[in-house]
A and B are shown apart, each in its own frame.
Chain A
Amino acid sequence: MGKLFQRGLLLACLIAPAAAWSYGAAELKIDNFKFGPDTLTITKGTGVTWINQDDIPHSIVFSALGVHSKVLDTDNAFTYQFDKAGTFSYVCGLHPFMHGQVVVK
């Protein structure tokens, strides 16, 4: 039982980081009507999370991808995983003068 548990633990330790590593994760902050960074370069399969740290709600809209997040109030987050390579531009749905892009390699 003890050996089985140890093996299981070892397997879990190997799988968990491998999963996190292969899919990757990146974070973007929204503050003072700006996306930071405004251009983010990631590898295919990465999940990108936007966190609204502004005093006003924002949303994430990728028209070309048909992606439209819910409205993010302060401290709310939105995650989207990019599975295709390319350069994807987005705006805030409430304040379309806020621009950003995600470059997926």
Chain B
Amino acid sequence: MSIDAFNPDRRGFLKCMTWAGSAMVWTVAGGIPRSHLIGQAEAAPTGLTFAQVSDSHLGFDRPVNTNVTGTFQEALGQATSMTEKPAFLIHTGDITHLSKPEQFDTGAQLLSATGLQVYTVPGEHDILEDDGKSYLNHYGKGTRGDGWYSFDVQGVHFIGLVNVVNLQGNGLGDLGQAQLDWLEKDVKSLSSSTPIVLFAHVPLWIVYQDWGWGTKDGAQALSYLKRFGSVTVLNGHIHQVMQKIEGRVAFHTARSTAFPQGVPGVAKGPGPMSVPAGELQTFLGTARISLVSTSSPLAIVDTPLAG
């Protein structure tokens, strides 16, 4: 879908949702968003490219996908064999299904086999046991609090946030004051032209409150980023691609590599969605994010494992 027809000066928001099964290239340049179906206009990345995987749920074994290790491995293979080899990999949480040691071990083995630098944030399924200590033992080095941190690559400032520790009464994610204070301080000294990539497990914007698909204080976090020209928010948790562009902030959720979930407002619940035999891999996949040049667009290409 091309959205060039929209007035780029218009404030407010544009909602663009792509449900599982299709792939999309998505670019944002100076607050003017453009998106294209894959194959129509793939960005030609010349700078930084990285890959996003999400919700591998290692240990899940229900009939909808009895081989989540296999599909995760397939997704990682897809990420590493992209034409533009990604500089690193981001996993946006729910690496494991039940936070079991063997599930963390499998995840660590598969991620390390990619040979890529891996950045993660926890999903709620990664901190079910021992107050999240297993997650932090694996991925907490150099992080603060429950596992938040930031880093810079080729002029882009990346921020990994944790919003699954104190789920709110309605199920929404929560960052908490300590993390918000850290975030405000973290971006304070950056120039407004620095592209920002923010990633966390639960969507930072309210996708669907009834299912807890959103973050209670996500808007507060984003208020610290208002002055930046390009902000990209990457999330997981909802096991389907959704995109929204609001001002200069582009939101994006990734597919799961394990199982799809239903469409909010349509499906009767947020649980795993059964799909016809042979079609599962069109609902799972990876995302590739490219920085075409430091001061302008980030392009996101969502790719299903098949189809």
B97 CB–A CB distance under 8 Å: yes
A56 near B98 with CB under 8 A, answer no
For the complex formed, measure the closest distance between the CB of B112 and the CB atoms of chain A, giving whole angstroms. 26
The number of residues on chain A lying at the interface, defined by a beta carbon within 8 Å of a beta carbon of chain B, is 17
B211 near A94 with CB under 8 A, answer no
Interface size of B as a range: 20 to 34
A55 near B98 with CB under 8 A, answer no
Contact partner, B271, options A32, A91, A93, A96, Cβ 8 Å? A32
Encode A53-94 as 1/0 by CB contact (under 8 A) with B.
Answer: 011110000000000000101100000000000000001011
CA distance A2 to B168 in the complex (A): 64
Q: Which residues on the A side are within 8 Å of B270 (C-beta)? A: 33, 95
For the complex formed, measure the closest distance between the CB of A54 and the CB atoms of chain B, giving whole angstroms. 6
Q: Which residues on the A side are within 8 Å of B64 (C-beta)? A: 55
Interface residues of B in 55-72 (CB under 8 A from A): 62, 64
Question: With contacts A55-B62, A71-B128 known, is A97 near B268, CB below 8 A?
Answer: no
A97 near B271 with CB under 8 A, answer no
Contact partner, B212, options A54, A57, A74, A95, Cβ 8 Å? A95
Closest residue on chain A to residue B99 by CB atoms: A71
Interface residues of B in 153-202 (CB under 8 A from A): 167-171
B268 near A94 with CB under 8 A, answer no
Q: Which residues on the B side are within 8 Å of A34 (C-beta)? A: 269
Q: Which residues on the B side are within 8 Å of A55 (C-beta)? A: 62, 64, 271-272
Contact partner, A94, options B62, B124, B168, Cβ 8 Å? B124
Q: Which residues on the B side are within 8 Å of A97 (C-beta)? A: 169-171, 210-212
B269 near A57 with CB under 8 A, answer no
Encode B261-281 as 1/0 by CB contact (under 8 A) with A.
Answer: 000000011111000000000
CA distance A94 to B98 in the complex (A): 11
B170 near A33 with CB under 8 A, answer no
Query: For the complex, would chain A's binding face be called helix, strand, loop or mixed by DSSP majority?
Result: loop
For the A-B complex, the count of residue pairs with Cβ-Cβ distances under 8 Å equals 48
Q: Which residues on the A side are within 8 Å of B170 (C-beta)? A: 96-97
For the complex formed, measure the closest distance between the CB of B257 and the CB atoms of chain A, giving whole angstroms. 16
Contact partner, B171, options A56, A71, A95, Cβ 8 Å? A95
- Counting chain B CB atoms within 10 Å of each CB, the highest count among A32, A33, A97 belongs to A97
Encode B42-64 as 1/0 by CB contact (under 8 A) with A.
Answer: 00000000000000000000101
- Counting chain A CB atoms within 10 Å of each CB, the highest count among B64, B98, B168, B271 belongs to B271
Contact partner, B98, options A73, A91, A93, A98, Cβ 8 Å? A73
A57 near B97 with CB under 8 A, answer yes
Q: Which residues on the A side are within 8 Å of B171 (C-beta)? A: 95-98
Closest residue on chain A to residue B61 by CB atoms: A74
CA distance A56 to B270 in the complex (A): 10
Q: Which residues on the B side are within 8 Å of A91 (C-beta)? A: 169
CA distance A91 to B170 in the complex (A): 10
Other A-B pairs beyond A33-B270, A71-B99, 11, CB < 8 Å: A32-B268, A33-B211, A55-B62, A55-B272, A56-B271, A56-B272, A71-B128, A93-B167, A96-B171, A97-B170, A98-B171
> Can you list 19 contacts pairing A with B, beta carbon distance less than 8 Å?
A32-B269, A32-B271, A33-B211, A33-B269, A55-B64, A55-B271, A55-B272, A56-B271, A57-B128, A71-B99, A71-B128, A74-B62, A91-B169, A96-B168, A96-B169, A96-B171, A96-B212, A97-B212, A98-B171
Complex A-B, nearest 3 residue pairs according to Cβ-Cβ distance, in ascending order: A97-B171, A32-B269, A55-B62
